[in-house]
Chain A
Amino acid sequence: MEANFDEKDSLRVINEMIAQAQNNFQKGSADPTVFSGYVVAFTAIANFVLLNVLERPILSFHVWWFMIPMVLVSRYIGRKNAIKAQVRTQLERLISTVWTAHLFACITILLVIWSGNRIFDTSYFGVLITPTILSFTGMAQFISARAIRIKAYYYASFVYWLGALGCMAVCSVNMWHYQFLILAACSILGLAVPGHVLNRKAKKHV
């Protein structure tokens, strides 16, 4: 035992170390979300443009196959950063789990809407895809905001939820294809921008 190390010193050390560990995120921990934000925005804009220029506009939706390599690359970036990280927190694991759940929720809703269209022999349910995914993403960002206590993430969740309502508003005036521009804006403001904020914070603290 060290001489002169009493109970007050013990408490001080514990408090100091817990405070040191707080708000520590690995450098580049938001890289996967920043990457995904820009790729989704680019894909949504591509979909909007192709809808207006292709002779068979329905073919424009095939750009969304691009999401499969995007998810794989995003996961690869996250794993690579995790290996190099000086510290990995429980919060980062929680947020990663939230995004995994988000991915499964999005796949489920796509299957539900596709099935609905088949069962009722319609394509109208398709307009619900973007607002539903925006709502899910808003929820994921809100949970992240609560966990990491960064205001930009709270704003991001409201951007997504407003975007979801905006998608239905453009549908009501028969301009449903503008959903893709709303999606692009939400992806940049609600995913890429808060990601940059978190990365800047991580760079400062670690």
Chain B
Amino acid sequence: MFKELDPLLHSQLRLAVVSLLLSVEEADFVFIREKTGATAGNLSVQIDKLNEAGYIEVRKFIDGKKPRTVCKITKTGIAAFDAYVKVLQEYIKR
């Protein structure tokens, strides 16, 4: 039924991450975890998948003594999300 939908985005957590990042300029891993309600392990895996696909950019650095992971959506990610929403609209219109 959902063959045309991007399989990478058609997942609850990955779609949540991309939707969240689309609405902000960049967000910390902790912020995304709190807003999506996901576990750290699962979120980490899904962020890696989105990063490998080039949908998001992941920046890791040390802030004082704390390691930080900051994510930002890329142009590829925005285009993929746009395409996903267009297909979604077609399904809804049916």
Interface residues, chain A, CB within 8 Å of chain B? 1-2, 5-7, 9-11, 13-14, 16-18, 20-22, 24, 83-90, 92-93, 206
Which residues in chain B, 28-86, are within 8 Å of chain A measured between CB atoms? 28, 30-31, 35-36, 63, 84-85
- Residues in A with CB closer than 8 Å to B31 are 86-87, 206
Given known contacts A5-B11, A7-B2, A17-B19, is B92 in contact with A86 (CB within 8 Å)?
no
Chain A nearest CB from B87 CB (Å) reads: 9
- Residues in A with CB closer than 8 Å to B85 are 14
CB–CB A85/B23 < 8 A:
no
Given known contacts A7-B2, A13-B15, A13-B16, is B25 in contact with A88 (CB within 8 Å)?
yes
A5 to B12, CA, bound (A): 7
Contact partner, B16, options A6, A16, A86, A87, Cβ 8 Å: A16
- Residues in A with CB closer than 8 Å to B25 are 88-90, 92-93
CB–CB A21/B28 < 8 A:
no
A13 to B92, CA, bound (A): 15
Instruction: Give B64's nearest chain A residue, CB to CB.
Output: A84
Chain B nearest CB from A100 CB (Å) reads: 16
Interface residue count on the B side (C-beta < 8 Å): 28
A131 to B23, CA, bound (A): 37
Nearest 6 Cβ contacts at the A-B interface? A21-B23, A17-B19, A86-B31, A86-B28, A17-B20, A87-B27
CB–CB A7/B91 < 8 A:
yes
- Residues in B with CB closer than 8 Å to A22 are 23
- What secondary structure prevails in chain A residues at the interface with B? helix
A116 to B28, CA, bound (A): 50
Chain A nearest CB from B21 CB (Å) reads: 8
CB–CB B11/A1 < 8 A:
yes
A18 to B12, CA, bound (A): 14
Contact partner, B30, options A2, A7, A86, A93, Cβ 8 Å: A86
- Residues in B with CB closer than 8 Å to A83 are 63
- Residues in A with CB closer than 8 Å to B20 are 17, 20-21
Instruction: Give A14's nearest chain B residue, CB to CB.
Output: B19
Given known contacts A85-B28, A90-B24, is B10 in contact with A5 (CB within 8 Å)?
yes
Instruction: Give B72's nearest chain A residue, CB to CB.
Output: A88
CB–CB B24/A24 < 8 A:
yes
Most chain B Cβ neighbours within 10 Å, of A18, A86, A93: A86
- Residues in A with CB closer than 8 Å to B5 are 10
